[in-house]
Structure 1
Amino acid sequence: MESKPYVLEHGTEFDKETLIQEFSNIQSELLPKVKLENHFQKDELQLIAGVDLAYWDVNDTMYGTCCIVVIDYHTKEVVEKVYSYGVITIPYIPGFLAFRELPLILEAVEKLTKLPDLYMFDGNGYLHYRHMGIATHASFFLNKPTIGVAKSYLKIQGIDFIMPENRMGAYTDIVINNEVYGRTLRTTKNVKPIFVSCGNWIDLDTSTEIVMNCINKESRLPIPVRLADLETHKMRKQLSR
């Protein structure tokens, strides 16, 4: 596990170009360690955590909350919910969202009493400009397999996704420069697809299988991500009063 995420103290002045260079260097150092293959036995998968964040502004100060919902993979029952919140010190820079989100994610993870076997993020993983979306970047701090599940498409190098057939489980791969970055997945008939990508230590077919096994009639999103998303809305409303 990596030691600590990149942190700026609240009120610290920063140069955006310097941050971009530092962040790029960190991503470049981590990328060779990404393994798009299973480092676990599927039949041993028990607990899956859904992770999401929400933000709000108060008097020009940005705040955020991270919510994690852990479910039993087999029964789909919730076994634990935790959250963290605080001031956001890293500015929003496209392609470097992980640096903004990691401090709150790790703070929430420390509150867990149940150890997830896998983390599923509301966001991208390998489907990223430099293959280092939040699901991939966070894996090095969590030391667990991760999956990215995005509601909207991140267009890279001008490449559009191909719409899958209108049936549950249909998918098309997202291929850029002859490399598969992720997958457009139709989890429910007559509903918009989602975008699945490996985070780390898992392959794309297994990621797709796990996501589909966490789909019910309530949403196109897998249960862990949907529940984490609902929790962030609830906590943002509560904390921003």
Structure 2
Amino acid sequence: MNNHSERQLRAIQDEYREKISLHNTFEKQQLALVAGVDIAYWTNGETDYGVCCIQVLDYQTKKVVEAVEYVGEVTFPYIPGYLAFRELPLIKEAIKKLTSAPDLYMFDGNGYLHHRNMGIATHASFELEKPTIGVAKTYFKVGNVDFIMPENKKGAYTDIVVDGTIYGRALRTRVDVKPVFLSCGNWIDLDTATEITMYLVEKESRLPVTTRYADLATYEARRMYNNSEGK
């Protein structure tokens, strides 16, 4: 993968892009397990490392039922717009450790809200063959379009529209906090993604518990591995 030219990477994205479906392939009442995915990086000497943490939660109780992590060397460079190629090897190795089978994955990052609609949540869906949602903490401008700040009310949102197409939403998950930037990954519609995200937000954070727990896990894992044995 790291030997591909940017043209080849774009071709891969374009091929997947044609297969994106922003329609539900599941019934929300059938969701049993949802997973949060996050990755953290660090450098030791001239070597880059990454850790992918996955937290699987019971959708009804919001309790963690399984947690796995994978640490490895990162060989794919950081190229804006192609982050999925850097992250997917770590994600796929972490997935192999799961004993449960999540019905839906949520990523700390974008999905359709990407200049070619191929953020990590969307790209990963084709590897995982599961519906996905992207929840990003910051907005990276798409098509020179700024987001409109939603009103200061829980559940308020404004759509991010690029060339007449809704790419995602600026979503206020709690009062008096910054919005998150929500987008479909694949095989889900935006209203359902919004409803699921809001259901999984609790008072401790503006993030849904899935990606919040994954974010906390990567923070701790990076601190531990970065301070031990050169990793």
TM-score in terms of structure 2 length:
0.97
2:51 aligned partner, one-letter code: T
Deviation, 1:123, is 0.1
> Is 1:238 equivalent to 2:211 in the alignment?
no
Q: CA RMSD in A?
A: 0.8
Counterparts of 1:19 and 1:202, CA distance in 2: 31
Cα deviations by residue, 1:119-165 (Å, 9 ceiling, x for unpaired): 00000000001000000000001000000000000101211000101
SS class of match (1:92): coil
Equivalence map 1:6-85=2 (5 Å): 6=1, 8=2, 19-85=5-71
Q: Which residue of 2 aligns with 1:192?
A: 178
SS in 2 for 1:43: helix
SS at match of 1:33: coil
**Corresponding residue for 1:100?**
86
Structure 2 distance, partners of 1:103, 1:85, is 11
CA offsets, 1:59-81, max 9 Å, x none? 11100000000011110100000
Counterparts of 2:169 and 2:5, CA distance in 1? 30
Mark the runs of 5 or more structure 2 residues left unpaired by the alignment.
Answer: none
The correspondence for 2:146, drawn from 157, 160, 172, is: 160
For structure 1, the residue ranges without an aligned partner over 5 or more in a row are: 1-5, 9-13
Give % identity. 60
Take 2:192 and 2:213, find their aligned partners in 1: how far apart are those partners?
Answer: 21
Q: Which residue, out of 140, 163, 167, partners 2:126?
A: 140
Task: Note the alpha carbon deviations across 1:160-203, whole angstroms, 9 max, x for none.
Answer: 00010100000000001000000110000010000000000000
How is 1:151-230 mapped onto 2 (pairs within 5 angstroms)?
151-230=137-216
Rounded to whole Å, the distance in 2 between the matches of 1:129 and 1:19 is 18
**Which aligned runs of 4 or more in structure 1 are off by greater than 6 angstroms?**
none
CA distance in 1, matches of 2:174, 2:11: 39
SS in 1 for 2:18: helix
For residue 101 of structure 1, report the CA deviation from its aligned partner: 0.2
Structure 1 residue identity aligned to 2:106? M
Give the drift of 1:19.
Answer: 2.2
What amino acid is aligned across from residue 209 of structure 1 in structure 2?
E
Q: What one-letter code is carried by the residue in structure 1 that aligns with 2:173?
A: T
